[in-house]
């Protein structure tokens, strides 16, 4: 075999072996590649399955859960802030209200790439994952502002991989549905910042006394301090002396973040760091709810008209009718003996003090001592139901008689023995009959029999309509003859409203505690009722003129105020025989004592008595006049208008009495004056003779 032949054969064998080895190597690479690809696919599949399983029960983006509970704010009659009430002291503001320094402080501290990412900051998340893997899970968050909104609104605070995956997923979804500005405000309006502050508006108010409409007044160091609170509100709260050092360090760190991001210059940073962290901090005053009884009535009115509203969460601004000075005086009068000498601690009172021309309630009396009204408690001013006695006569008897029958104040009635339709006798307070007398005299002296006669003349259904137009309600929509002397039940608010119509020229304004309610979105609900004419001007004035007599010379003299044009009516009720015997009350003891009166400026309805029947719980003598003294005290303190009620053109005067023009109820003809002389003497002799005969006859 030649050398050349052997070389060729060896080369062929070598090439064959090489090809075989190459084929084996290529096959192995393909196998490894295929295995790798399979692993990737399997991993993706497992990952997708795992991801799907983690988000299968993720809650939806529910817009209602993004709405934070907002506190309600109360304001007085002049729009001055009174009190904030709610589960959380929170004020919602818009993006335009946030000063740039405050926005930049939060962005630099909490999420420097907020306006660049789509809900998840990939770089921060990767770093956080690495640190969590190498340390304890949950030790690093890496959460964006969007993720924090999701976490606080939809998810539990637990630190698990599943919850974190859900947080990422929902953050991405939130970014697709809302703008960056909207998401930022969800965050800034929600976060807790210590010092009873939820959201940045509340923080500015509670730390620096700056309200939501003037946030631009926040200085750079103040903005940085607020932004620094997010990490640990209680530990960085600078109102606590033990926190000042930590709060300063944290505030300065925020300023450094702002400088690093280019939001402020180095000089601004240095200047801000020199400012004490306590500069501008207001003193903390823990104030309980003022004027609880009044605000209780306010809330009752709001909830009655705005069905389903929740004052603890919906961020209402409620503009009330309260006069804080009048209410403070009312509280002092009710709960001390400085202004009124009460017979004992059990003695109770309730009243409504309102603006005659508008029906706006300025103050209320709502019970004394153990019966003093509290917020969401029993309120004597609004919930009381007691008999008004004779104070009801202008409403159900004499007002309707003048309105429908056009009686004059001189109209004559025969005060004589009279029974109810049931046969039960009716008597006057003095147990006497007074014969023919005018309705002016009957009302002035508060006689009962003329009141019932008047109601019968008017007809009960007409009288009922008249009273209902004055805001009076009747139980079961029924009226009885005994209501002529006030055996029905009323509360001080109703009585004040009814009498104010007499004072307001016949125009009724429903008594109310609220002017308007403003919702967070700016929508306004007006609570001011429309004025309603409920009687003729002659009815209002003639009742007023008769009630002047009650105050000047009648049963309401204790309520008279020199220099003011005052009209009013007293009313008392007595215990029945069974109750007197059971508790040992005196024969002439009184159960309820009322006085309802007015001037052109204010109307006030006062009830006094005891909450329940017990031994010693009765009124006699001067105790029944306390209601008039309470009226006088309030009126003298707050009345400034000395104007007089003006007689309308529909009314004319004859002597002391008033008549309606065109009415058939006309003044009596004056008796003819006989000339002196023989005829007069003769008549006198005849009269004497007749008188003597009568004496002999009887």
Point out the residues that are catalytic: 110, 390
Residue in the structure block whose two tokens are 């008033």: 658
- Is 386 within 8 Å of 592 (Cβ atoms)? yes
Side-chain-side CA neighbours of 309 within 13 Å: the count stands at 24
**Cα of 693 vs its chain's centroid, Å:** 76
What is the token pair recorded at 52? 């799907």
Backbone CA torsion sign across 283, 289, 294, 299: positive
As a whole number of angstroms, the distance between CA 186 and CA 367 comes to 44
Read off the DSSP letter of residue 308.
Answer: T
Contacts of 44 (CB under 8 A, 6+ apart): none
Strand partners, 574: 590
Return the ∠ at Cα 213 (arms to 209 and 217), rounded to 5°. Answer: 55
Residue in the structure block whose two tokens are 């020229």: 505
Helix (H, G, I), strand (E, B) or coil at 82: strand
Residue 610 CA: distances (Å) to CA of 127, 392, 487, 492 = 74, 20, 17, 15
Interstrand relation of 532-533 and 524-526 (parallel, antiparallel or unpaired): unpaired
Helix (H, G, I), strand (E, B) or coil at 570: strand
- Is 330 within 8 Å of 351 (Cβ atoms)? yes
Interstrand relation of 651-654 and 657-660 (parallel, antiparallel or unpaired): antiparallel
Interstrand relation of 532-533 and 657-660 (parallel, antiparallel or unpaired): unpaired
Q: What is the phi-psi region of residue 486: left when phi exceeds 0, alpha when psi lies from -120 to 50, beta otherwise?
A: left
Number of other residues whose CB lies within 10 A of the CB of residue 681: 10
Number of other residues whose CB lies within 10 A of the CB of residue 33: 10
As a whole number of angstroms, the distance between CA 325 and CA 511 comes to 19
- Is 103 within 8 Å of 145 (Cβ atoms)? no
> What phi, psi does 654 have (nearest 5°)?
-135, 110
Strand partners, 608: 349, 593
């Amino acid at each position: 075999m030649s050398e050349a032949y052997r070389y060729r054969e060896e080369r062929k064998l070598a090439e064959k072996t090489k090809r075989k080895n190459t084929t084996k190597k290529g096959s192995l690479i393909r196998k490894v590649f295929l295995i790798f690809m399979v692993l990737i696919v399997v991993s993706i599949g497992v990952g997708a399955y795992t991801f799907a399983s983690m988000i299968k029960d993720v809650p939806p983006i529910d817009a209602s859960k993004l709405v934070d509970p907002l506190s309600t704010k109360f304001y007085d009659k002049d729009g001055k802030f009174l009190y904030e009430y709610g589960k959380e002291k929170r004020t919602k503001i818009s993006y335009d209200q946030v000063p740039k320094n405050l926005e930049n402080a939060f962005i630099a501290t909490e999420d420097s790439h907020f306006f660049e990412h789509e809900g998840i900051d990939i770089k921060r998340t990767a770093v956080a994952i690495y640190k969590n893997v190498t340390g304890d899970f949950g030790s690093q968050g890496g959460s964006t502002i969007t993720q924090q909104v999701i976490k606080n609104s939809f998810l539990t605070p637990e630190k698990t991989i599943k919850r974190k995956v859900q947080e990422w997923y929902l953050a991405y979804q939130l970014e697709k549905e809302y703008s960056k500005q909207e998401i930022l405000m969800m965050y800034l309006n929600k976060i807790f910042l210590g010092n009873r502050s939820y959201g940045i508006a509340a923080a500015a108010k509670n730390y620096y006394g700056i309200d939501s409409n003037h946030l631009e007044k926040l200085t750079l160091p103040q903005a940085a301090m607020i932004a620094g609170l997010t990490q640990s509100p209680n530990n960085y709260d600078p109102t606590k002396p033990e926190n000042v050092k930590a709060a300063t360090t944290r505030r300065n760190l925020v300023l450094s973040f702002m400088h690093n991001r280019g939001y402020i210059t180095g000089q601004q940073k240095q200047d801000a760091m020199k400012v004490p962290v306590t500069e501008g901090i207001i003193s903390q005053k823990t104030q309980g709810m003022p004027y609880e009884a009044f605000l209780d009535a306010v809330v009752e009115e709001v909830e009655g008209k705005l069905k389903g509203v929740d004052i603890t969460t919906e961020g209402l601004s409620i503009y009330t009718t309260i006069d804080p000075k009048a209410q403070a005086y009312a509280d002092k009068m009710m709960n001390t003996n400085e202004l009124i000498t009460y017979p004992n601690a059990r003695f109770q009172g309730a009243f409504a003090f309102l603006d005659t021309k508008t029906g706006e309630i300025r103050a209320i009396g709502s019970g004394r001592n153990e019966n003093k009204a509290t917020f969401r408690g029993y309120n004597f001013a609004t919930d009381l139901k007691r008999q008004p006695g004779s104070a009801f006569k202008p409403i159900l008897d004499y007002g309707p008689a003048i309105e429908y029958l056009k009686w004059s104040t001189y109209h004559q009635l025969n005060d004589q023995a009279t029974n109810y339709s049931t046969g039960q006798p009716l008597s006057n307070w003095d147990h006497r009959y007074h014969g023919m007398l005018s309705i002016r005299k009957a009302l002035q002296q508060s006689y009962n029999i003329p009141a019932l006669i008047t109601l019968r003349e008017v007809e009960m259904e007409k009288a009922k309509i008249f009273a209902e137009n004055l805001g009076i309600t009747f139980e079961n929509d029924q009226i009885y003859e005994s209501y002529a002397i006030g055996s029905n039940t009323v509360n001080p608010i109703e009585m004040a409203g009814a009498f104010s119509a007499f004072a307001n020229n016949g125009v009724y304004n429903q008594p109310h505690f609220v002017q308007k309610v403003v919702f967070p979105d700016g929508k306004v609900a007006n609570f001011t009722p429309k004025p309603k004419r409920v009687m003729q001007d002659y009815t209002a004035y003639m009742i007023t003129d008769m009630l002047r007599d009650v105050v000047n010379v009648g049963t309401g003299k204790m309520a008279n105020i020199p220099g003011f044009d005052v009209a009013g009516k007293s009313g008392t009720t007595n215990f029945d025989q069974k109750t007197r015997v059971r508790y040992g009350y005196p024969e002439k003891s009184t159960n309820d004592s009322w006085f309802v009166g007015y001037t052109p400026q204010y109307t006030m309805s006062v009830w006094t008595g005891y909450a329940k029947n017990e031994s010693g719980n009765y009124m006699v003598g001067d105790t029944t006049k306390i209601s008039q003294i309470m009226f006088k005290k309030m009126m003298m303190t707050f009345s400034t208008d000395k104007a007089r009620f003006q007689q309308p053109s529909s009314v004319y005067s004859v002597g002391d009495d008033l008549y309606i023009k065109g009415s058939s109820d006309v003044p009596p003809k004056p008796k003819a004056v006989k000339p002196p002389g023989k005829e007069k003497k003769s008549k006198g002799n005849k009269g004497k003779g007749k008188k003597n005969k009568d004496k002999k006859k009887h």
